[in-house]
Amino acid sequence: VVIVSALTFRILHGVRDLVLSLVDIGQQFGFIEETLSLIGSPPLLTDGLGSCRLQRGGGSIEFRDVSFGYRAAGEDAIRNLKLCIPSGQKVGIVGPSGAGKSTLISLIQRLYDAQEGEVLVGGRSVRSVTQDSLRDALAVVPQEVSLFHRSVMENIRIARPSATDEEIFAAARAALCDGFVQGLPYGYHTVVGERGAKLSGGQRQRIGLARAFLKMAPIVIFDEATSALDSESEILLQKAVVDLMGGHTVIAVAHRISSILAFDRVLVMQNGTVVEDGRPADLLQQAGHFRRIWRLQSGALGNGAPAFQESRPE
Ligand code: ATP
């Protein structure tokens, strides 16, 4: 009896310790989640119950009265936004720092869920489709492109593993990579990344753009993806985007207006909403933010400002 009682006691102790450890781990997770929300990192969103695959093809985007703030009690980064972007349209987004441009792009990717309203991609609410299928429908080129410790070829191929070498070369040519890659010690087989050949910010951006040309997703998002390029390359790339991405929807957040002048449409954002919306040529005719920024950047106001400047309408 003594031995059985002692054993039972030890087992119960073990179970209690296990339960306490699980509670502790749960609390740690709560703490991590809280910390992530404090520093504003995207929460880990999961597929909703009954979510299905987004059918590849539709490249339309819609914001239906969307409001979103990073903190429940804080100011909204996006305010009551209504926006329809038809499939295939090329849209440039400009606006001062903090206007909500990156947030808008994050909501399209469902990095966050809007507190109010609905974001739709290809006619489906982003909450109702699997995140894998949403990622498949989007090609996102960030300002800071991450490279793996692999060859240039593999770094581009990652966008579409089934691509042939020829398709990779074509994407690299479209993204103006070919010239500098040919100059690397082993051309496309040169290893890059942290411990490989060091590439400049502009060269990394070109590899990011080549990935987008290779993936050819229905929706292509450039988040200041050409900011490190010289003006001439930026204009050439704009032409490549318009010529080669015919049926694809393109959203480009830009600081230099010259990089989106050939697009179908420009949105000027301020304080979480769109304050001007139209064809670039039409907006240049109106005395508004867009024309004023363009004149500042092109030096027409005697100030050759190279990047976006906060402005008041004329
Ligand atoms: P920029 O041109 O400087 O990149 P932006 O137009 O992209 O600016 P957002 O980055 O979308 O603007 O920011 C909109 C608002 O949301 C700003 O007030 C910003 O401080 C806030 N914000 C942005 N990201 C976060 C975050 N991760 N956590 C908390 N607040 C954020």
Cα dihedral value 233, 234, 239, 245, nearest 10: 110
CA distance 258 to 255: 9
> Which protein residue has the closest C-alpha to ligand 1 atom 20?
98
The three-state secondary structure class of 111 is coil
Tokens read off for 237: 């790339």
Whether residue 61 has its Cβ less than 6 Å from ligand 1: no
- Determine the residue of 66, 78, 97 to mutate for testing ligand 1's pocket, defined as the one with the most ligand atoms within 8 A of the Cβ atom: 97
Q: Which of the residue ranges 6-20, 166-180, 191-205 would you say has the lowest mean pLDDT?
A: 6-20
- Determine the residue of 36, 75, 101, 253 to mutate for testing ligand 1's pocket, defined as the one with the most ligand atoms within 8 A of the Cβ atom: 101
Whether residue 155 has its Cβ less than 6 Å from ligand 1: no
Ligand 1 midpoint to CA 20 (Å): 40
Tokens read off for 40: 């504003």
Ligand 1 midpoint to CA 102 (Å): 7
Whether residue 43 has its Cβ less than 6 Å from ligand 1: no
pLDDT digits (tens, 9 = 90+) for 233-264: 888 888 899 888 889 999 999 988 988 999 99
Whether residue 77 has its Cβ less than 6 Å from ligand 1: yes
The three-state secondary structure class of 268 is strand
Q: Are 269 and 101 in contact (CB under 8 A)?
A: yes
Ligand 1 midpoint to CA 299 (Å): 28
CA distance 288 to 277: 11
CA distance 276 to 145: 30
Split at pLDDT 50, 70, 90, the class of 12 is low
What value of ipTM does the predicted structure carry?
Answer: 0.98
The pLDDT of residue 176 is above 70: yes
Q: Which long-range contacts (CB under 8 A, 24 or more apart) does 260-263 make?
A: 260/92, 260/94, 262/90, 262/238, 263/90, 263/91, 263/92, 263/238
